[in-house]
Chains A and B, each alone.
Chain A
Amino acid sequence: MTTTEIPFLLELVIAFFLLIGALVALLGSIGLARLPDFYTRLHAPTKASTLGVGCTLLGSLLYFSFINEGISVQEGLITLFLFVTAPVSAHMMAKAALHRRVRCVRRTRNVPWEGDES
């Protein structure tokens, strides 16, 4: 099993997916580290990282489907699972943060508890 067996075009596509996936996921992680408050930070990993890992999985799916001469089901399953659960995780975390009244940046509009405090 060496990479030379794979046709050049396919190899190109796989490499593209792996690289793009890694870059997008890194973007998500940078967002997580750099953005100012929790609510903005929540966006970065749940969208970008999920997409990035999805791309990586797609690359892997193509790779193993070719090598094992059959559709590699597992990656598809993982991708499906990630895409289904990531929004729910984000939803739950946002709920928790709102419930705990986690601090938000000053420009935020429609803060639910602002009325209470005034």
Chain B
Amino acid sequence: MQLALLILMPLLGALLPAVRRHDPVVRLAVLAALPALASLMLLLSLLPQVLAGETLLWTREWVPTLGLSVSLRLDGLAWLFATLITGIGCLIILYARFYFAGKSTAGRFYTLILLFMAAMLGIVLSENLLVMLVFWELTSLVSFLLIGFSWDKRGARRGARMSLVITAGGGLALLAGIVLLGQVVGSYQLTDVLAAGDEIRAHAQYPLILSLILLGAFTKSAQFPFHLWLPHAMAAPTPVSAYLHSATMVKAGLFLMARLHPALADTELWFTLVTITGMLTLMVGAFVAMFMHDIKGLLAYSTVSHLGLITLLLGLGTPMALAAALFHLVCHALFKAPLFMMAGYVDQATGSRDMQQINGLWRYMPALMVLTAIPAAAMAGLPLMSGYLSKKMLFVESLQVSSPDWATLVIPVWVTLAGLFSVAYSIRIFHNVFFNGKPVELPIYPPKKISNSALSPLFLLAAATLAVGLAPQLAYQWLVQPAVSAANGLPLPPYDFSQLGARLPLLMGIVALIGGLLFYMARNPLFAIHARLPEVDAKEIFEWLMQRCIRFSQHQVYGLENGSLQRYLALLLGTAVVMGFWATEGFRDWQGSIALQPLDAMTLLGGLILCGAAFGVAIFHHQRLPALLLLGVTGLFVTLTFARFSAPDLALTQLSVEVMAVVIMMLALSFLPQQSPSESRWPRVSRDLIIAGVAGLGVALFAFAILTRPMESISSFFLANSVSGGGGTNVVNVILVDFRGFDTLGEITVLGIAAVAVFAFTRDLHLKERAVPIADENWVAEPHPIILSMVARLVLPIAFLVSAYIFLRGHNLPGGGFIAGLVTAVALTLQYMAGGLAWAQSRMVMQFRPLIGAGLLVALFTGLASWVFGYPFLTSAFGYVHWPLIGKFELASALVFDLGVYLTVVGATLLILANLGKLMTVAGPGKEIG
């Protein structure tokens, strides 16, 4: 349960800033920090168990038969990541308190950042791989929202879309990989998967599984060539960049590789794929970062480079390399976050992020300079800093590589070169910003002051960086060692930091340092050369690709869907006809074993009238109003047919729906001409006629074949269990509110959504400015005949009585919430027609949207109430009461559920009708309806 709390606290905590979003930033920061701090404290309290090598598990079964369970796991590796996520998260929340000071968007930011924190914690704490995948996608989604935080900017929108396309695409690959993996192992539980490493590696599908999973990890961790999204994600506010794009989200891919290390690693393929990708990313990132003038861009590419470095180490596969990877991961998170924070402050203080303009800031913000010196030095890998150690570990590990042959020489040289670049860009970001002459044409000059308290998060992170550098053994023992042991499943020997003093790694370090310094000194001619190189903007290429994709799919879609409904119907029915023919080829015995019932004259007559009316609608459909009348006849005779064959529930529903349809079509007719021109030529008409005829005959034939055969369907179960299980004799209603209550809940939710959508679409829409003059020659002057409005008022109580009656007895006899709701809605619609929109609206006690909401909540809480009594969702309880006049009457919890259905139906129907009616009414209520 503690593990679930770790995720739930930020998840539910995200609601707090959302609800209180108008509060001042300071209070919002406190609200957001509470859940994050609570999670951090809980993690720290679990440290002793983790250090002891325990693996904490928590499982809640969800669908045991499918092997689906929500299970969480906390071991050393998860603890390391979780602590980074929550710890740095707290500092980011603190930082954002200063960054967002005086802005109104802070509430949204805090909500999203807490959501993101919960999603990241979910990834690292999942024991079930499918659960992890859900959180994985959640991070992609939340990161999309965070990158597009300033959605009024084009760059932000494009960057957000790019990141979503790449990371979600990788997520799909990951999904495929994990499903395959689960099938090979036979379980999605991490414990089983990690134990089955040999089996997986020997499996024929191993290369496929590995490639798919690595694709997911590489896209998330911005590995070459998927690194493109990361620099463009810099359109996000700086706290987001500092958190997501340096410390957490991009580490998810690395986490995945470390987590699945025992299951997938230690093969030639793993080494090749991961190491080479890491090497490429390392070099590309470092090289591009060198030439960036944008501070955040430089930091972004340096992040790409560092991610490549860690990937490279993960690819090497030895436990010590893993240890070096995780050590560097911690160091990187600690020094990159403050650098981003610095970039944010500089941006706010000077209004620019261009290092060609930003120079010599030491005069204006000395404290910031001092604090930046530490992480910058760590990034460069200067002695005494954390980065120095991790870089040395990298060099040592690179020298350990013994096979394949090319790697023994290439990798050490490669990492030295990359180290050289990283020294160069680290020096640059520090020297260029704080020294290097004076500021050039800053938008804000002199730069704004930064308060000392605003530097506190930087101070804490810089202190942590320094601490790791000074006491590496401690950091190693407490953080990295349990993590590596957990990841590998083997105890890890303590790291011998003294070996870092060996000659060759030292030499490599010195080469990198001096080379980097020289490189930086020669930067001006180098920039000149670089500026002459053809510029390739990844975003433009990506946009071009996106546009091509969109145009391609548009072409495909519009080629098929040209907006002609006849065409869609012809395609659908034609396909059905062809398939039907194909499936029943050679089938002759259409008539089954059940004898036909005798045919009485009344039924035959009704059937003939029904068919005739239906034909009439098809033939006269150009004349809209007569066609509508014929449609009414069809509806009436369908109702009579239902009544004749003892389906009263259907009859009642059909009737109510019928009349609502007539009213809605009448509303639509107001916008349409009385007659529609005939546009189809005869080949088209005959084609449609043939398809429709064949399809109709086919359906009739199938119905005949099925009805004449004894069918063992589920209905006998419902008939047998309706009274004992649901306490009602009206099986239809018992199915709706009890057996299939969950379906009904979903359906009324859809109904509510549809109604609200109609409301939203018609809200600011005025189709026709039709002001009715007092005496128009086309229309009667009196809009609401007095006799009609008087009688309509008289009808209302009768209709309410009927609908209450239908509602109350619905559980045992025909009726129920749905029909009762429609009857009420029809009666109220009559008021709208007779008394007018404004008149009726002013008499509505409750607005429709709250009504829908109330209905849904009533239905939902009835379902939830059964949880309180320890039963599954929507279990109903019932008892009987005797009421005079109405008869034996049942009080079931399903009745309350039905009340929810009733309210939703009334609200949704009226919301739609009133808003459609509003469209043409100029002298309407003057305010929105609903």
A residues within 8 A CB of B787? 87-88, 91
Q: Indicate if B526 sits at the interface (CB-CB under 8 A).
A: no
Chain A residues numbered 66-83 whose CB sits less than 8 Å from any CB in chain B: 73, 77, 80-81
Q: Indicate if B795 sits at the interface (CB-CB under 8 A).
A: yes
Q: Indicate if A10 sits at the interface (CB-CB under 8 A).
A: no
In the assembled complex, the Cα of A98 lies from the Cα of B780 at a distance in Å of 10
Partner of B785, one of A80, A81, A95: A95
A residues within 8 A CB of B780? 95, 99
Residue in chain B with minimal CB distance to A81: B798
Chain A residues numbered 95-116 whose CB sits less than 8 Å from any CB in chain B: 95, 99
Q: Indicate if A84 sits at the interface (CB-CB under 8 A).
A: yes
Q: Indicate if B605 sits at the interface (CB-CB under 8 A).
A: no
Partner of A73, one of B785, B788, B794, B885: B885
B residues within 8 A CB of A85? 791, 795
B residues within 8 A CB of A99? 780
Residue in chain A with minimal CB distance to B799: A81
Q: Indicate if B802 sits at the interface (CB-CB under 8 A).
A: yes
Assess whether A91 is in contact with B798, with CB atoms less than 8 Å apart. no
The bracket for how many chain A residues form the interface is 10 to 19
A residues within 8 A CB of B795? 81, 84-85
Assess whether A84 is in contact with B794, with CB atoms less than 8 Å apart. yes
Assess whether B788 is in contact with A92, with CB atoms less than 8 Å apart. yes
In the assembled complex, the Cα of A92 lies from the Cα of B780 at a distance in Å of 12
Chain B residues numbered 869-887 whose CB sits less than 8 Å from any CB in chain A: 885
1/0 contact trace for B790-822 toward A, CB 8 Å?
Answer: 010011001001100000000000000000000
A residues within 8 A CB of B791? 84-85, 88
A residues within 8 A CB of B885? 73
Chain B residues numbered 116-155 whose CB sits less than 8 Å from any CB in chain A: none
In the assembled complex, the Cα of A77 lies from the Cα of B797 at a distance in Å of 12
Partner of A91, one of B788, B794, B801, B802: B788
Most B CB within 10 A of own CB, among A85, A88, A91, A92: A88
CB distance from B347 to the nearest CB of A (A): 71
CB distance from A70 to the nearest CB of B (A): 8
In the assembled complex, the Cα of A92 lies from the Cα of B784 at a distance in Å of 11
Residue in chain A with minimal CB distance to B887: A70
B residues within 8 A CB of A77? 798, 801-802
Interface of B: prevailing SS? helix
B residues within 8 A CB of A91? 785, 787-788
In the assembled complex, the Cα of A77 lies from the Cα of B801 at a distance in Å of 10
Residue in chain B with minimal CB distance to A98: B780
In the assembled complex, the Cα of A87 lies from the Cα of B787 at a distance in Å of 9
In the assembled complex, the Cα of A29 lies from the Cα of B798 at a distance in Å of 28
In the assembled complex, the Cα of A88 lies from the Cα of B780 at a distance in Å of 17
Interface of A: prevailing SS? helix
B residues within 8 A CB of A84? 791, 794-795
Report how many residues on chain B are interfacial, defined by Cβ distance under 8 Å.
11
In the assembled complex, the Cα of A40 lies from the Cα of B221 at a distance in Å of 84
A residues within 8 A CB of B801? 77
Residue in chain B with minimal CB distance to A96: B780
A residues within 8 A CB of B798? 77, 80-81
In the assembled complex, the Cα of A95 lies from the Cα of B780 at a distance in Å of 9
A residues within 8 A CB of B788? 88, 91-92
In the assembled complex, the Cα of A88 lies from the Cα of B798 at a distance in Å of 16
CB distance from B154 to the nearest CB of A (A): 57
In the assembled complex, the Cα of A64 lies from the Cα of B811 at a distance in Å of 22
Residue in chain B with minimal CB distance to A71: B885
CB distance from B720 to the nearest CB of A (A): 25
A residues within 8 A CB of B785? 91-92, 95
Residue in chain B with minimal CB distance to A80: B798
1/0 contact trace for A25-53 toward B, CB 8 Å?
Answer: 00000000000000000000000000000
B residues within 8 A CB of A95? 780, 785
Most A CB within 10 A of own CB, among B780, B785, B791: B791
B residues within 8 A CB of A73? 885
CB distance from B50 to the nearest CB of A (A): 73
CB distance from A45 to the nearest CB of B (A): 15
Chain B residues numbered 759-793 whose CB sits less than 8 Å from any CB in chain A: 780, 785, 787-788, 791
In the assembled complex, the Cα of A81 lies from the Cα of B798 at a distance in Å of 8
In the assembled complex, the Cα of A91 lies from the Cα of B791 at a distance in Å of 12
B residues within 8 A CB of A88? 787-788, 791
In the assembled complex, the Cα of A54 lies from the Cα of B530 at a distance in Å of 97
In the assembled complex, the Cα of A64 lies from the Cα of B785 at a distance in Å of 38
In the assembled complex, the Cα of A44 lies from the Cα of B791 at a distance in Å of 22
In the assembled complex, the Cα of A84 lies from the Cα of B801 at a distance in Å of 16
Residue in chain A with minimal CB distance to B885: A73
CB distance from A59 to the nearest CB of B (A): 18
In the assembled complex, the Cα of A88 lies from the Cα of B791 at a distance in Å of 7
CB distance from B718 to the nearest CB of A (A): 27
A residues within 8 A CB of B794? 84
In the assembled complex, the Cα of A81 lies from the Cα of B794 at a distance in Å of 10
Residue in chain A with minimal CB distance to B780: A99
CB distance from B288 to the nearest CB of A (A): 77
In the assembled complex, the Cα of A84 lies from the Cα of B787 at a distance in Å of 11
B residues within 8 A CB of A80? 798
B residues within 8 A CB of A92? 785, 788
CB distance from B618 to the nearest CB of A (A): 25
In the assembled complex, the Cα of A92 lies from the Cα of B789 at a distance in Å of 11
CB distance from A46 to the nearest CB of B (A): 14
In the assembled complex, the Cα of A87 lies from the Cα of B785 at a distance in Å of 13
CB distance from B639 to the nearest CB of A (A): 15
A residues within 8 A CB of B802? 77
In the assembled complex, the Cα of A8 lies from the Cα of B795 at a distance in Å of 38
In the assembled complex, the Cα of A80 lies from the Cα of B791 at a distance in Å of 12
CB distance from B471 to the nearest CB of A (A): 88
CB distance from A75 to the nearest CB of B (A): 13
CB distance from A39 to the nearest CB of B (A): 17
Residue in chain A with minimal CB distance to B778: A99
In the assembled complex, the Cα of A21 lies from the Cα of B44 at a distance in Å of 87
In the assembled complex, the Cα of A81 lies from the Cα of B827 at a distance in Å of 13
In the assembled complex, the Cα of A73 lies from the Cα of B805 at a distance in Å of 11
In the assembled complex, the Cα of A92 lies from the Cα of B790 at a distance in Å of 13
In the assembled complex, the Cα of A55 lies from the Cα of B352 at a distance in Å of 90
In the assembled complex, the Cα of A88 lies from the Cα of B792 at a distance in Å of 9
CB distance from B243 to the nearest CB of A (A): 67
CB distance from A82 to the nearest CB of B (A): 11
CB distance from A38 to the nearest CB of B (A): 15
In the assembled complex, the Cα of A73 lies from the Cα of B801 at a distance in Å of 12
CB distance from B893 to the nearest CB of A (A): 28
CB distance from B796 to the nearest CB of A (A): 12
CB distance from B78 to the nearest CB of A (A): 68
1/0 contact trace for B515-538 toward A, CB 8 Å?
Answer: 000000000000000000000000
In the assembled complex, the Cα of A85 lies from the Cα of B796 at a distance in Å of 12
CB distance from A99 to the nearest CB of B (A): 5
CB distance from B787 to the nearest CB of A (A): 5
CB distance from B778 to the nearest CB of A (A): 9
Residue in chain A with minimal CB distance to B792: A88
CB distance from A64 to the nearest CB of B (A): 14
1/0 contact trace for B230-264 toward A, CB 8 Å?
Answer: 00000000000000000000000000000000000
CB distance from A74 to the nearest CB of B (A): 9
B residues within 8 A CB of A81? 795, 798
In the assembled complex, the Cα of A61 lies from the Cα of B799 at a distance in Å of 20
In the assembled complex, the Cα of A91 lies from the Cα of B785 at a distance in Å of 10
Closest 7 A/B residue pairs (Cβ): A88-B791, A99-B780, A91-B787, A88-B787, A88-B788, A81-B798, A92-B788
A residues in contact (CB < 8 Å) with B: 73, 77, 80-81, 84-85, 87-88, 91-92, 95, 99
Q: List 8 A-B contacts (CB under 8 A).
A: A73-B885, A77-B798, A77-B801, A77-B802, A87-B787, A91-B787, A95-B780, A95-B785
B residues in contact (CB < 8 Å) with A: 780, 785, 787-788, 791, 794-795, 798, 801-802, 885
- 14 new A-B contacts, CB < 8 A, other than A88-B791, A92-B785, are A77-B801, A77-B802, A80-B798, A81-B795, A81-B798, A84-B791, A85-B791, A85-B795, A88-B787, A88-B788, A91-B785, A91-B787, A91-B788, A95-B780
